[in-house]
Structure 1
Amino acid sequence: MDVTTSTATPLAALSITSVRDSAGTLIPDSTTTQDTELTLSGMGPVGRVVRILDNGNVITTASVTVAGTWEISVIVALGVHSFTVSVDGAESPPWVITVVAEPTLDLLRPRVPKAYGDGTHLNFDSAMYEDSYLSVMVGYTGMKVGQKIRLRWRGAVVYESEIKTVSAIGDVEFRIPRLEVVDVIGRAASIDYTVTLGNGTVVGPSVVLPLKVDAQPLDLVPPTITSDNRIVTVLYPGMNTPQTGRARWSGVVAHDTGEQNLDTRPENFDIPSAWISENSGREVLINYTVYRNDGQHLLFSRVLRKRM
């Protein structure tokens, strides 16, 4: 009796079970992606080498594990890709994916909701006298979930925000610390941002927002400090009685000195040793406030930055 043993691989044992992008996100069959780096996974006969085809053409091979699975990464061009896997003349059903181009990004100018006029002017006294931060909103054409945004504030120093990941299409809020805004009263800052795409490409910077912060009645220059950090000295144009002032020490926590009477001479403020020691190795931001005894709001000086 003749017995013929077939060596053909059953079609059911040969398949593509998933396709994922470079971030590991599943790309369902018959859908689109903007990623050109793909990872294909599937099943096949144990110990065999299977061929991976794209639109009928072999593009690579993969070894099947003892568990009957295989996985391979490929880089493809834009367009339609019909992936199949074959061995011994058997071929799996196709997994079809269309790779489309990333949308063109138009990185629009960031916005400051509390700015006035054409959006490039800010009055600190009326807009954020009590606020601990300045809100800046970022929105742009081509925004996509998963993109990462970093805001940059160029004021007295360059302040870079934390990186925020887009979780929904729409404005993303960034917060500029209060003292960075205080430090440009009577001056200007420029604000822009960059966007990192899913493939790691950094796009930008965006269109710049020039933000002019209105001047105060007095130009309060930064204070000075002694080499041992024990005495902060205040002296500014127009300093006179009956003005009063106090120094603020912003480190791991914020401290205020007592209020002292001012006249035309430099005014010294003693700094407790505990304020210095608790900030060892850190940068402290030091400024002062002035009250003119006229019933109006306090005025704020620019900032001295000192590493302890």
Structure 2
Amino acid sequence: MNSVSAVTDPASPKVLEAHGSAGDQLDFDHVYFAQYVTAQVPHFTGMARGHTVRITWENPRHTYHSQVITVGTPGTIDIRIPRMEVIDSIGHTVKVFYTVRTAPGTTLIPSRYLLLHILPQPFDLLAPTLSSDQKTVSVNYSGMTTGYTVRVRATANTLWESDTRPVQAGVTPVFTLPSDWRTNNRGADALINYTVYKSGSGERLMFSKVLRTRIGEVTPAISENFDDIPTQLITVGQRIALSSMTITFLSGNGQMGISNSLTYPPIPGKRSGQLLHLCYQALTAPQRCRIDLKSACSRVRFWQTWTDEATTTAFFYNTAGQLLGERTLLDRLLTPISSNSPQME
């Protein structure tokens, strides 16, 4: 039986491999051979059998959500974060938190954040670049010089590793992805990165950030710039039809739609120009809208520009109406929301 016990302000998680007085630093060298690190959900106030929890590991380039775990006997819960998510976070601060659902269909309750600092390597290794035809991978990072070697690794349904090349100043190494690997992994999500080694040093490898792509699906980009769209405000049941999408106001009160930033002064790079404005006026009831894209997409990316002391949750569905995932946004920040789904509600 599911419980609806009150859960208020859940405490932040821990990462068991972290160090420092606040447990907020992680040296990749300390977990170099590990396949994962462990994020621990504490025994938070109100935790009860039947609750579900999920860890979110959010670095500036990608957000990873763990599997959803159902609480049995209340107590700490250990959840694994894959090694590649740690590698992709080297040199960055990661926001680690969990969400709690007390019963099916109830609102997600976010925990406090752990801001985990992943210590940098000697080189800041950018993600590799994949050619538009997905046949070649290029490596380029600041400080490329002789005396080092580089090697590429691509993981999808199967693993491919390149030969090892010497690094030459001013020369961009280019590696060819084998045609049979591309064929065998067509339609699969791939993680591609590279390692750099100081020749003859005996030191450990340095790892690049991760390129994430879907193999064999090169879909033209579709974009919508609200700056060129006149103000349009709608009420429940109405919709706005744009060239790339239809926006439908599903429930709530007041108005929503395309508008400027109201009484707020424009902030360059954030709340300037026209935008899709939820809760156009100061309202206490939540609003729900649905965005239907008019073309098939392999990946969708939106920008959440402002939350104004509120919580926004995006639900991603496929064309069959199946829920693929969700993301709750809390910060008053410019934040990307991305999914592999073709529809967002």
- What is the TM-score of this pair, normalised by structure 2? 0.58
Over 3 Å counting, the alpha-carbon distance change for 1:176 and 1:199 in structure 2 is closer
Aligned to 2:296: none
Partner of residue 149, structure 1: 53
Distance in 1 (alpha carbons) for counterparts of 2:103 and 2:190: 37
How do 1:1-308 residues align onto structure 2 when only pairs under 5 Å count? 23=1, 102-117=5-20, 118-126=22-30, 128-139=31-42, 140-155=44-59, 156-198=61-103, 200-264=105-169, 265-293=171-199, 294-308=201-215
**Structure 1 counterpart of 2:35, which letter?**
S
1:73 maps to which residue? none
Greater relative CO (CA pairs within 8 A, separation 6+): 1
What amino acid is the match of 1:162? Q
Offset at residue 115 of structure 1 (A):
0.7
CA contact (8 A) 1:106 1:142 kept: no
Runs of 4+ displaced beyond 6 Å: none
Bigger strand fraction: 1
CA contact (8 A) 1:115 1:122 kept: yes
Q: Which residues of structure 2 form unaligned runs of 5+?
A: 216-345
Determine what percentage of the aligned residue pairs are the same residue: 38
Deviation readout 1:131-165 (Å, 9 max, x if unpaired): 11121000112211111111111112111111101
CA contact (8 A) 1:194 1:202 kept: no
CA RMSD, 1 decimal: 1.7
What is the CA–CA distance in structure 2 between the aligned matches of 1:158 and 1:235, rounded to whole Å?
A: 24
Give unmatched runs, 5+ long, in structure 1: 1-22, 26-33, 36-101
Give the SS at the match of 1:202.
coil
Q: Give the drift of 1:286.
A: 0.6
Please give the secondary structure, in 1, of the residue aligned with 2:181. helix
The higher radius of gyration belongs to 1
Q: Which moved more, 1:297-306 or 1:193-202?
A: 193-202
Task: Give yes or no for contact 2:158–2:185 (8 Å, CA) kept in 1.
Answer: no
How many residues align? The count is 210
What TM-score comes out, normalization by structure 1 length?
0.65
**1:292 maps to amino acid:** K
Query: After superposition, what is the alpha-carbon deviation per residue over 1:16-68, rounded to whole angstroms, capped at 9, x for unaligned?
Result: xxxxxxx4x8xxxxxxxx66xxxxxxxxxxxxxxxxxxxxxxxxxxxxxxxxx
SS at match of 1:276: helix
